[in-house]
Amino acid sequence: AVLSCNGLRLALLAVATTVPPGAAARGSGPGMAALKVETAYRIDPSLLHEQPGTPPYVHTWMPAEEVERLQEAAANARKVADVVVVSIHWGVGHEDEPAQYQRQVARALAEAGVCLVLGHHPHQLQGLGVEGKTYVIYSLGDFLRQFRRPAHIRLPGSVLIDEAKARRSLVVRAHIGRTGVEKLEVVPVFLDDAGEPQIASGDTEKAILEWLGQLSTPLGGRLQRLPEGGALLLPANQAEAGGSTS
């Protein structure tokens, strides 16, 4: 889709790497714009007998032909718009960190000139990254949710849902011009007992920003708190412009 506002043309490209069986678009039919990701599991042979039950190392990557297809789609979008924003359904549910392939895909999108990546699927917040001039929200978290489970529950496959983390969310205010993102603000949100979003303040806001800041540093992002609330997302190596760092 191409949106226009104050003379600025913004192309929104939506894709997914987490695709239920049969949901991918085929030919001219409807469906999700699916991208293929490969997964491999490596076992440390020295631990097979020494420590039975040790989880394998998980390696994920997007094949080169899929990367090219994604970059071509972004390049085509740039031909009809001033800037490109990518919305991507990706990652692993209820994990603090992005999967290995997500950093690869984020860098590929940055190379293609995408200015902002909006990630979703993990059902909790993940770190915020910066790749060159591209801002990457690895997971926005949930904006609405039903809390019917215990505070901690383990799903099949050893996935642990932490309700406290699931209640943390955010609103992104991206100021976008013809050259890309000029400023990106994050506003912490928490979900109340009804699963509805409320603007975080006080200790709740502080806790969300500190935790998000810790997750963002390895991804090339840094949060600078604003006096009026919320924070700016900056490249990790950019000097402060006033305010405090989370």
Beta strands in 142-230 (DSSP E): 152-155, 159-162, 168-177, 180-191, 197-199, 221-225
Q: How far is CA 80 from CA 4, 8, 74, 77, 188, in A?
A: 11, 11, 10, 6, 34
pLDDT of residue 42: 94
pLDDT of residue 18: 95
Nearest CA-CA partner of 234 in 98, 130, 158, 92 = 130
Amino acid at 90: W
The pTM (predicted TM-score) of the whole model is 0.90
pLDDT in 10s for each residue of the chain, 246 residues: 999 999 999 999 999 999 999 999 998 889 999 999 999 999 999 998 899 989 899 999 999 999 999 999 999 999 999 999 999 999 999 899 999 999 999 999 999 999 999 999 999 999 999 999 999 999 999 998 876 655 555 555 556 678 889 899 999 999 999 999 999 999 999 999 888 999 999 999 999 999 999 999 999 999 999 999 999 999 998 866 555 555
pLDDT of residue 66: 97
